[in-house]
Structure 1
Amino acid sequence: MDAEDRLRPQFVAEVLDAVHEGDVDTARTLVAPLHPADVADLIELARADERDGLVAALAELVDADVIAEMNEHVRELLVEQMAPERVAEIAGELETDDAVAIIEDLEEDEQRAVLRAMEPDDRAAIEEALTYGEETAGRLMQRDLIAVPEHWTVGQVIDYLRSDEELSNDFWEVFVVSPNHHPVGTCKLSTILRSPRRVRVSDIMAHEQTLIPVDMDQEDVALRFQKYALVSAAVVDGSGRLVGMITVDDVVHIIQAEASEDVLLLSGAGEGDINEPVRDSYKARVRWLMANLLTALVASTIIRVFEASIERLAILAALMPIVAGVGGNAGTQTLAVTVRALATNQLTGSNRWRAVGREMRVALLNGITIAALVGVAVTLILHSPQLGAVIAAAMLFNIVIAGFAGVLVPVTLERLKADPAVASSIFVTMVTDSMGFLIFLGLATASGLTG
């Protein structure tokens, strides 16, 4: 590993060379000390035509934990080549949420074959999870949890944890439930271990807890974990019954995935995964490039309207990209701040207009500063105070408009129940380019500079 915990290229090459030469023992010896996540990285770093041989050579090391850590595109290709019985075996060794992540990507007939090969209890849990919408708490939650009645004592809880070998090994708190299995409180393991055996659970449990509805979007789940500093949380169905739990390790993956998704949606780059098939990347990106082409035609149409003015004063052609470019960057800055605020619930209906006013003040200050700089520079370099004043005014107006567009576009999408990150930058850029050209060329023409 290098200083940033990445596999060194020399190590990857050494393992692949050993596999290519048929020296399986050396390859396994090199890979054996790695963490499952690093083994998954090794497989992802190999070329597509090298992966089958690498996985075959490392068969004993490519276990369920490695499969769970893999990039979804690489994992999907690998799982498709496995027999349903092997996929079922791997899924049975994983937590329900990880098993669902593997099975949900399979074709419907392959799903049925895998589910038929699973143990009845595991199959029932996964079939139930698949009934919930994608990216909801129901898909994310684990079914293996510890729940005890509130009338038990600490001693009974400890004896139960020690005696039942089927219980989950990974948990941080014990959920306390009523007779109808509704969560009524939680007990941290530290609290249980430090309390006398005779004390009732109801006397030491925390009554207040954060409950996650089974149909809650995973992004909202992550926000709750962040807001309330949760380690785990109970998931309840529509009737309030405890049906699962979500742990912070799953939420870390959500936060990373959602943050990456918003950044990529802003640019219209699709999933942005280097392992994504070329055809899928092409289809995801080309439609936004076509939309960008259409919006660019708006700006070019404005330029054509002022073609005569540009012919009479050619310097306008050199200066107008400056107005549009700086305006575009200003709009992108505001857009990024707004999308992040919407995603983290910092920007809501109660403070929407206050946030708009704040961004407009920031845009005005930025506009005055940049307008003064460019106005003075043009005046001194081109010896034309009138042209300096025109470009300064155009710059000021365009940056203010850019700030307004950077807030208005994502807020409008959010009000329309659309994802505010979906290629908003394309539309903001259209506004800043079009208005920048229109204001600058319009002011230059109206002021008599081109006369």
Structure 2
Amino acid sequence: MSERGDTAEPLLKGDDADEAIAAAAESRHDEDDRLKPEFVSAVLDAVEEGDAERARDLVSPLHPADIADLLELTPADRRGEVAAALGDLVGAEVLSELNDYVRDDLIGDLAPEQVAEFASELDTDDAVAMIEDMEEADQQAVLDALDPEDRAAIESALSYPEESAGRLMQRDLVAVPEHMTVGQVIDYLRDNGDLTRDFWEIYVVDAKHRPIGYCQLSWILTCPRAIAMADLMKREQTLIPVDMDQEEVALRFQKYALISAAVVDGGGRLVGMITVDDVVHIISEEAGEDILRLSGAGEGDINEPILMTVRARLIWLVVNLGTAMLAASVVGLFEGTIERFAMLAALMGIVSGMGGNAGTQTLAVVVRALATNQLTSSNTARMIGREFRIAATNGATLGTLIGIGSYIIYGRIDLSLVFGAAIVTNNLVAGLAGVLVPITLERNNVDPAVSSAVFVTMMTDSLGFFSFLGLATLFLR
């Protein structure tokens, strides 16, 4: 994929460019339903050449989720340019499908009125997800630009805790009193154009707007018009408290095979509903989050800013550094019985151990990215460069810390320099191995989640020992 520059020239011109665009348009997806690199490059080249119309022609047949994928696969410094060229193809539905970090970058350049317009076209839960992480002043400006009804709904949702049912629910639903008949409900649905069109169940409520049952649309469509809703509805239902954690919500959907569920407030009144499409996202997010927490890799999002990633990973690496130094100090107790370079035996385990921990962090992120199709052949090179920069930053920080620590303990500047250099080297090895090993396995139809750890550990251990002992042999006297 080409990078934009002041002197950039189109990669293809004339008939060659038209043929390349036509070829890319004919086959946009690979066998795993991911956008092909050739298609992504064709769109970027069209934008780079200033041919916005051709770019829109290529992208217009795509589903909003695919357009979101295209923007995520676009280098960060070119996303604004591509989004501007695509114009109204990047609408509210596309923004709701975007990765959080990518969406924040894009809407950061929009006027509050534009963000409000997008938010008004979305369900409440999607609108909240779009604006909840904005700066307070920007968020207030967007809220002020909304219609009073939309603003009230979003402000109400924002008042609930993060990752709760209140944030996840949508307020657009269909509720009817129990005294209505099937025929009256059908007429009500047909005559009210303001009702939501995306629903699978109708909730039956009492005079205090408390849900007392529900009916699936199929039941209503296949029953005589004279049947009362009270006789047709199913009274046993799963109600979701508005303050329930989203992970528990997902577990209830999974346990009871729900399509949608009513959300109730503290008084038992119906305030919204949650649908299975939102829960599928939560299940995936929570499962990945738990695994990444075990490895100390932060959120594990490949679109997360590098400094945030460095900070999240470095904390756990420093903790691991402390535990590794403690283990090495135990071996150091026997230093008097070991020959000339006894301290090497005490310290070389730290080099391999720290490399193994860094490799595990990178590996967890890459395996997740592969599983969720965030990492494809279109952005593999960018991912490798990103992880190399993170590994270099973390390695330099840890190398400096451990070099200072070893000098305080042993009082040898040559040993400190060798130790620090070996830490930096093995962190770079770990970063590259954590990316290249799972990618190679995945492209050879081997499950990277099962097999990658073995190979990454082997590389960090062997190359860690080699770099440390090799440098010691060359420079210690």
- Structure 2 residue 313 is the aligned partner of structure 1 residue 296: no
The one-character-per-residue Cα deviations of 1:18-43 (angstroms, maximum 9, x if unpaired) are 00001111100100110000001101
Find the partner of 1:161 among 161, 164, 189: 189
Partners of 1:307 and 1:231 in 2: CA distance: 65
Q: Which residue of structure 2 aligns with residue 152 of structure 1?
A: 180
Distance 1:147 1:310, change over 3 A: farther
- Structure 2 residue 183 is the aligned partner of structure 1 residue 134: no
Report the TM-score when normalising by structure 1.
0.69
- Structure 2 residue 213 is the aligned partner of structure 1 residue 185: yes
- Structure 2 residue 246 is the aligned partner of structure 1 residue 222: no
Secondary structure of the equivalent of 2:324?
Answer: helix
Find the partner of 2:53 among 17, 20, 25: 25
Find the partner of 1:76 among 104, 110, 124: 104
Which is worse superposed, 302-311 or 183-192?
A: 302-311
For residue 112 of structure 1, report the CA deviation from its aligned partner: 1.0
Partners of 2:202 and 2:267 in 1: CA distance: 21
- Structure 2 residue 39 is the aligned partner of structure 1 residue 15: no
- The letter of the residue matching 1:275 is N
Partners of 1:15 and 1:193 in 2: CA distance: 45
- The letter of the residue matching 2:119 is A
Q: Which residue of structure 2 aligns with residue 360 of structure 1?
A: none
Partners of 1:181 and 1:160 in 2: CA distance: 18
- Structure 2 residue 135 is the aligned partner of structure 1 residue 107: yes
Partners of 1:301 and 1:222 in 2: CA distance: 46
Partners of 2:42 and 2:269 in 1: CA distance: 53
Partners of 1:77 and 1:21 in 2: CA distance: 23
- The letter of the residue matching 2:115 is V
Q: Which residue of structure 1 aligns with residue 14 of structure 2?
A: none
- Structure 2 residue 263 is the aligned partner of structure 1 residue 235: yes
Q: Which residue of structure 2 aligns with residue 409 of structure 1?
A: none
Partners of 1:181 and 1:305 in 2: CA distance: 72
Unaligned runs of 5+ in 1: 337-451
Secondary structure of the equivalent of 1:82?
Answer: coil
- The letter of the residue matching 1:61 is L
Q: Which residue of structure 2 aligns with residue 395 of structure 1?
A: none
Secondary structure of the equivalent of 2:280?
Answer: helix
Find the partner of 2:63 among 13, 22, 35: 35
- The letter of the residue matching 2:200 is W
Partners of 1:298 and 1:150 in 2: CA distance: 69
For residue 311 of structure 1, report the CA deviation from its aligned partner: 5.3
Partners of 2:325 and 2:48 in 1: CA distance: 53
- The letter of the residue matching 1:165 is G
RMSD: 2.2
- Show the 5 A alignment for 1:11-410: 11-308=39-336
For residue 306 of structure 1, report the CA deviation from its aligned partner: 3.4
Secondary structure of the equivalent of 1:58?
Answer: helix
The one-character-per-residue Cα deviations of 1:32-66 (angstroms, maximum 9, x if unpaired) are 11000000110111111111110010012001000
Identity among equivalent positions (%) equals 65
Partners of 2:187 and 2:287 in 1: CA distance: 43
- The letter of the residue matching 2:130 is I
- The letter of the residue matching 2:125 is D
Partners of 1:114 and 1:73 in 2: CA distance: 18
For residue 307 of structure 1, report the CA deviation from its aligned partner: 3.6
The one-character-per-residue Cα deviations of 1:295-342 (angstroms, maximum 9, x if unpaired) are 111211121123456659x9xx69x97xx99xx99xx9xxx9xxxxxx
Partners of 1:263 and 1:166 in 2: CA distance: 43
Secondary structure of the equivalent of 1:252?
Answer: helix
Secondary structure of the equivalent of 1:191?
Answer: helix
- The letter of the residue matching 2:252 is R
Partners of 1:37 and 1:275 in 2: CA distance: 16
Secondary structure of the equivalent of 1:279?
Answer: helix
Secondary structure of the equivalent of 1:289?
Answer: helix
For residue 202 of structure 1, report the CA deviation from its aligned partner: 0.7
Q: Which residue of structure 1 aligns with residue 406 of structure 2?
A: none
- The letter of the residue matching 1:199 is I
- The letter of the residue matching 1:257 is E
- The letter of the residue matching 1:105 is D
For residue 213 of structure 1, report the CA deviation from its aligned partner: 0.4
- The letter of the residue matching 1:166 is D
Partners of 1:35 and 1:308 in 2: CA distance: 69
- The letter of the residue matching 2:296 is G
Partners of 1:196 and 1:21 in 2: CA distance: 62
- The letter of the residue matching 2:314 is V
- The letter of the residue matching 1:304 is G
Partners of 2:152 and 2:334 in 1: CA distance: 68
Unaligned runs of 5+ in 2: 1-28, 365-477
For residue 272 of structure 1, report the CA deviation from its aligned partner: 1.1
- The letter of the residue matching 1:156 is Q
Report the TM-score when normalising by structure 2.
0.65
Greater relative contact order (CA < 8 Å, ≥ 6 in sequence): 1
Partners of 2:334 and 2:201 in 1: CA distance: 70
- The letter of the residue matching 1:254 is I
Partners of 2:239 and 2:336 in 1: CA distance: 66
Partners of 2:78 and 2:171 in 1: CA distance: 37
Q: Which runs of 4+ in 1 moved over 4 A?
A: 308-312
Partners of 2:335 and 2:218 in 1: CA distance: 76
